Structure 1
Amino acid sequence: MSTVESRRRIGAEIWIVLGLSLGKAALYSVVNITARLTDGTPLAEQTATLNASQSERPWLDLTYQLLGIGFGLVPVALALYLLSARGRGSLARIGLDRARPGRDLAWGVGLAALIGIPGLAFYSLGRLLGITVEVQASALNDQWWTVPVLLLSALYNGLLEEVIAVAYLYERTHDLGWGRVRFIVASSLLRGSYHLYQGIGPFLGNVVMGVLFSWFYTSPRFRHGGRHRIVPLVVAHTLLDVVAFVGYALVPVEWLAAMGAA
């Protein structure tokens, strides 16, 4: 196979994977923010709901939630399967293994702390400036399975976004000859774009998060901690969402109102 043909196949593969996952979400998000901005209602008075209930019947709602998470992970499986064509060391190559559990956990917690506190302040600032919608992180009914489902949802987001937007995209753009800076810009803009439905503030905040995460993943300075290891990013992302989802479900309404989140 010629080099040109190989590059075309890689490019087509990237578009297919993104079209089934984050790229699709980004396109819908662009349409959504366009609708919001042309609605006539200020962004600050609009609402975006995450983890919404799918049915008034608890058992049916639980079924829908689990099916959504399960099928949502199929693009992750596809991306990993495509990378496996390189050989059995593909998971180790992107750091999706158990080689350094303690170190990965420590880096993940550190990254979550580094992003989490400024992220909350950035959200509050965005609400104050009117460029961020009110984000309801959980609208599930209060059932015995609510918290477990929110935990699974957080893990799902961590795997989907970090494996595809960082690990998979880096490997494939590297095959196309992209440099580190070009990859970081593309990955970060992709991350921001599929959060546009939450407003301009979350778009900018997630671009910053994308720069930090993709820079950490590709940085030689963190060869023994983050270099080509996606687990710390999955841990960090999951922890951030756990705090947001479960915290929203458990924190008193008065506190949420004080933060502009209710």
Structure 2
Amino acid sequence: MAETLPEQRLTRRTLRDETLLVLALSLGASGVSALISFIGSVTKPGGLKEQAATLNASAAPGRPWLDLAWQLFDIATDLVPVALVAHLLLREGQNLRTLGFDRTRPLTDLGRGAAVAAVIGSTGIAFYLAARGLGFNLTVVPEALPDVWWKYPVLVLSAVQNAVLEEIIVVGYLLRRLGQLGWTPGTALVASAVLRGSYHLYQGIGGFVGNMVMGVVFVLLYRRWGRVGPLVVAHSLLDIGAFVGYALLAGKVDWLPTA
């Protein structure tokens, strides 16, 4: 019979340092990188909408098998912080189920996630087009992969990886730790939303504001449902729609900007 780890009492300093380290290894570092990228964009001659931000690019142009290996490697390593969070929760005698990331309510999570994606997806596209038209956003290129057999599976895997990483760390884990550190619910909500906006700043002001608003909505839904599962579903569907939709429609419709 497997042994169960005893729950440990963690000091505020341990919780604080742990949280900072998790963020430094994941989306906190992405926020700093996005800020540097944004500074480079706004100080470059020409408007933001004349510049492009590419999300899923080829890692080895002209070498499809090597490219695939790099794509899968990047997806797998980007999920390591989630494994770290799971390990840290075990130290408390908890696990990812504590955050509502499990298979106990698949149909409910799928239904709620699909509904959220439908609402946010339609408004998100309109907001992006408006922000770009006003010069507040770069032209976002969701994918620039070669036209090979693994293109669409990789885009779907990339979307799911983004969703799992962001919702577990920025919503479930961060809110839990900030609550344990004594932050008020309102302050924790702002911190989570600003963090989400920060690592999208490379897209421009529109990307920052739009994702910050989405962050507020996701925190409120998480507190209502007590589960990150629906948020992972919603985020996955949103990114799959953006990545695959762009691959299918780019250059074929007039309303979709391309680089």
Aligned letter for 2:162?
N
In structure 1, stretches of 5+ residues that fail to align are 220-225
CA gap 1:252/1:139 in 2 versus in 1, 3 angstroms: closer
CA contact (8 A) 1:80 1:168 kept: no
User: Among the aligned pairs, what percent are the same residue?
Assistant: 49
Q: Deviations over 1:40-65 (max 9, x none)?
A: 22101110001100112000000000
Name the SS of the counterpart of 2:257 in structure 1. coil
Tell me which residue corresponds to 2:240. 242
Name the residue aligned to 1:82.
88
Matched to 1:13, the amino acid is E
1:57-68 → structure 2 map (5 Å cutoff):
57-68=63-74
Alpha-carbon contact 1:94-1:229 (below 8 Å) kept: yes
Cα distance in 2 between the residues matched to 1:164 and 1:96: 11
Q: Of 135, 144, 147, which residue of structure 2 is paired with 1:142?
A: 147
State the Cα deviation string for residues 166-213 of structure 1 (Å, max 9, x = none): 001011111101121111100000000000000000100000000000
CA distances 1:66-95 after superposition (whole Å, capped 9, x unpaired): 0000011001110111112222x4222211
Match among 171, 180, 184 for residue 175 of structure 1: 180
- Does the aligned pair in 2 maintain the 1:65–1:149 contact within 8 Å? yes
What are the within-5 Å matches in structure 2 for residues 116-127 of structure 1? 116-127=121-132
Matched positions, count? 250
Aligned residue in 1 for 2:26: 21
C-alpha contact 1:195 1:203 (8 A) present in aligned 2: yes
Aligned to 2:168: 163
**Which of these residues, 108, 121, 133, is aligned with residue 128 of structure 1?**
133
SS of the residue aligned with 2:183?
coil
What is the CA–CA distance in structure 2 between the aligned matches of 1:63 and 1:92, rounded to whole Å? 31
TM-score normalized with structure 2 length: 0.94
Q: Distance in 1 between matches of 2:21 and 2:54?
A: 28
TM-score (norm 1): 0.93
- The one-letter code sitting in structure 1 at the alignment partner of 2:242 is A
Using the TM superposition, give the Cα deviation of residue 252 of structure 1 relative to its aligned residue in structure 2, in angstroms. 4.4
- Name the counterpart of 1:70: 76
Question: What's the counterpart of residue 258 of structure 1?
Answer: 255
**1 CA distance for matches of 2:216 and 2:169?**
15
| Alpha-carbon distance in 2 for matches of 1:80, 1:207 | 25
Distance 2:250 2:95 in 1: 45
Residue identity matched to 2:69: T
The reply to whether residue 151 of structure 1 matches residue 156 of structure 2 is yes
CA contact 1:180–1:218 (8 Å) conserved in 2? no
Alpha-carbon separation, structure 2, partners of 1:92 and 1:54: 35
The answer (yes or no) to whether the contact 1:37–1:43 under 8 Å persists in 2 is yes
Counterpart among 175, 182, 192 of residue 187 in structure 1: 192
8 Å CA contact retained: 1:127, 1:260: no
Give unpaired runs (5+ residues) of structure 2: 1-8
| Structure 1 partner of 2:209 | 204
How far apart, CA to CA, are the structure 1 residues paired with 2:163 and 2:97? 18
CA distance in 2, matches of 1:92, 1:198: 33
Quote how far apart the aligned CAs of 1:103 are. Answer: 0.6
Q: Say which SS state the counterpart of residue 136 (structure 1) adopts.
A: strand
Q: 2:143–2:243: 8 Å Cα contact kept in structure 1?
A: yes
Residue 75 of structure 2 aligns to which amino acid in structure 1?
I
Q: 1:119 to 1:129 in 2, by over 3 A?
A: same
Distance 1:248 1:49 in 2: 12
Amino acid in the other structure paired with 2:64: P
